[in-house]
């Protein structure tokens, strides 16, 4: 872990020049908050307005012909509003420091309900999180995925206490990445935790009203089309398919084999089949292990079927990694090695050098979807009582 954290630090230092020039994703959040601060909320999704503001604090960037677009719902920009009181570089540093505090908060939250973590010092858990490449990518990009990780951890704790309505409220606050939250909530509704949707809807309504108040109803109604347009076009700021570790990236990242239409159809069908596989897991594992398996499967599936999943988004895998480790630790097995067999599929995702090779050397981050698919399959099998650890194999 120390070696991978050191590798991340070297990587971060080598890219500090690009950070100063405004290349990280944090630029989009800082821009959106600046637009709100200047009273231009109705133009939040205007490319020309975003580009004009970004040029003021980043200058012209040779590799970018337009703005780094803000594609999240309007209410999230309020989080970054206080940071616009600082110059861009200082704001980036403060946001990363806040991310570190939020990550430590995730650890404290999980220690309340995951007994295995209580035997590990918090600083060791923090080191383990920082050694995970998607978490490092959040700091590198100034992203918001660690905040979503905290909200999901709070949601898990609420589900653990059977406070399903409260869990739904926490999940609603995470709808700034709705492609993650919608599948998770829907799966728990199918798994007969229907009160989750009550809290989810109750919290989404005021968030929608706040968003409408910030940008106006016309801009809000246009937002879905705008976001879809951006994610479909790398030239507008979308991520190339081969750099997305999900089913869409796995299908569309091979233009020599799949055309745009056939790849999209394959991605949609694959996503539907994976969702149906997860939805039909009956959860025969005993409580409390059942919830750990359900939550782990829901997050893994949501990342795979999301239409726009980045490497930093997989920071949420910290939760299934922790929960599956706890599940394996408390599951009887003949040998220690076979007890932790359900974690075998995800081992490649833990190797930072592999991430760096796939990202910088060959541009094939989409290959990370393969071990995640295998992992989702094994978690689902354990839920049905046919997995390795259940058989003692």
Res. 20: pLDDT tops 60: yes
Handedness of CA 55, 59, 63, 69 (dihedral sign): negative
Contact 389, 333 (CB under 8 A): yes
pLDDT at 50: 92
Q: How confident is the model at residue 116 (pLDDT cuts 50, 70, 90)?
A: confident
Contact 317, 149 (CB under 8 A): no
* Dist. CA 339–CA 320, nearest whole Å: 16
Mean pLDDT on 79-103: 96
Closest CA to 112 of 287, 308, 326, 255: 326
87: which DSSP letter? Answer: -
Mean pLDDT on 21-25: 87
Q: Per the structure block, which two tokens stand in for 355?
A: 């991430």
pLDDT at 140: 94
Per the prediction, the chain carries an average pLDDT of 89
Closest CA to 378 of 391, 368, 388: 388
Degrees, nearest 5: CA angle 255-257-263:
70
Highest average pLDDT, of 313-317, 331-335, 378-382, comes from: 313-317
Q: Per the structure block, which two tokens stand in for 249?
A: 């990236």
Cis, bond preceding 288 (omega within 30 deg of 0): yes
pLDDT tens digits for 128-178? 999 999 999 999 999 999 999 999 999 999 999 999 999 999 999 999 999
Q: How confident is the model at residue 67 (pLDDT cuts 50, 70, 90)?
A: confident
pLDDT at 17: 85
pLDDT at 287: 59
pLDDT tens digits for 166-209? 999 999 999 999 999 999 999 999 999 999 999 999 999 999 99
Q: How confident is the model at residue 334 (pLDDT cuts 50, 70, 90)?
A: very low
* Dist. CA 19–CA 27, nearest whole Å: 9
* Dist. CA 305–CA 196, nearest whole Å: 21
Of 214-218, 282-286, 314-318, minimum mean pLDDT range: 282-286
pLDDT tens digits for 215-262? 999 999 999 999 888 887 766 667 888 899 999 999 988 766 666 678
* Dist. CA 324–CA 344, nearest whole Å: 11
| Residue with tokens 């020039």, as numbered in its chain | 21
Contact 119, 127 (CB under 8 A): no
Q: How far is CA 36 from CA 29, 86, 210, 217, 262, in A?
A: 11, 15, 13, 15, 40
Q: How confident is the model at residue 393 (pLDDT cuts 50, 70, 90)?
A: very low
pLDDT at 355: 94
* Dist. CA 368–CA 245, nearest whole Å: 5
Closest CA to 92 of 57, 126, 66: 57
| Residue 259 CB-density burial (10 A; 0-12 exposed, 13-18 middle, 19+ buried) | exposed
Q: How far is CA 170 from CA 2, 19, 205, 295, 303, in A?
A: 33, 31, 13, 14, 18
* Dist. CA 257–CA 272, nearest whole Å: 21
Closest CA to 27 of 73, 65, 69, 71: 69
Closest CA to 46 of 26, 31, 25, 61: 31
pLDDT at 281: 85
Res. 389: pLDDT tops 50: no
Handedness of CA 96, 241, 151, 292 (dihedral sign): negative
């Amino acid at each position: 872990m120390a070696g991978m954290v050191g590798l991340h630090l070297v990587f971060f230092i080598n890219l500090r020049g690009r950070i100063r020039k405004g290349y990280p994703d944090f630029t989009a959040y800082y821009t959106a908050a600046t637009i709100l601060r200047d009273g231009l909320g109705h133009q939040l999704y205007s490319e020309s307005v975003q580009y004009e503001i970004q040029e003021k604090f980043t200058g012209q960037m040779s590799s970018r012909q337009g703005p780094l677009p803000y594609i999240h719902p309007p209410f999230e920009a309020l989080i970054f509003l206080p940071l616009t009181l600082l110059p861009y570089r200082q704001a980036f540093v403060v946001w990363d420091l806040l991310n570190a505090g939020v990550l430590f908060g995730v650890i404290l939250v999980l220690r309340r309900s995951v007994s295995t973590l209580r035997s590990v010092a918090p600083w060791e858990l923090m080191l383990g999180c920082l050694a995970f490449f998607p978490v490092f990518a959040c700091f590198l990009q100034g992203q918001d995925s660690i905040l979503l990780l905290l909200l999901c951890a709070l949601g898990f704790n609420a589900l653990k206490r059977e406070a399903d309505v409260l869990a739904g409220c926490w999940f609603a606050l995470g709808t700034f990445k709705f492609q993650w939250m919608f599948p998770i909530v829907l799966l728990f509704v199918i798994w007969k935790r229907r009160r989750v949707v009550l809290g989810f809807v109750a919290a989404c309504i005021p968030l929608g009203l706040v968003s409408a108040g910030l940008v106006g109803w016309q801009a809000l109604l246009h937002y879905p089309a705008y976001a879809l347009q951006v994610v479909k076009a790398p030239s507008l700021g979308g991520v190339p398919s081969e750099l997305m570790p999900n089913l869409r990236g796995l299908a569309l990242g091979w233009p020599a084999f799949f055309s745009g239409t056939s790849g999209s159809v394959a991605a949609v069908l694959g996503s539907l089949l994976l969702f149906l596989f997860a939805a039909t897991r009956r959860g025969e594992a005993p409580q409390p292990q059942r919830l750990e398996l359900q939550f782990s499967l829901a997050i893994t599936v949501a990342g795979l079927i999301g239409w726009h999943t980045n490497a930093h988004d997989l920071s949420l895998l910290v939760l299934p990694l922790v929960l599956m480790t706890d599940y394996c630790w408390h599951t009887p097995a003949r040998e220690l090695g076979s007890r932790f067999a359900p974690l075998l599929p995800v081992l490649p995702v833990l190797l930072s050098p592999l991430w760096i090779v796939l990202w910088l050397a060959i541009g094939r981050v989409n290959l990370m979807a393969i071990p995640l698919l295998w992992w989702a399959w094994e978690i689902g099998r354990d839920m049905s009582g046919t997995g390795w650890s259940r058989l003692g194999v």
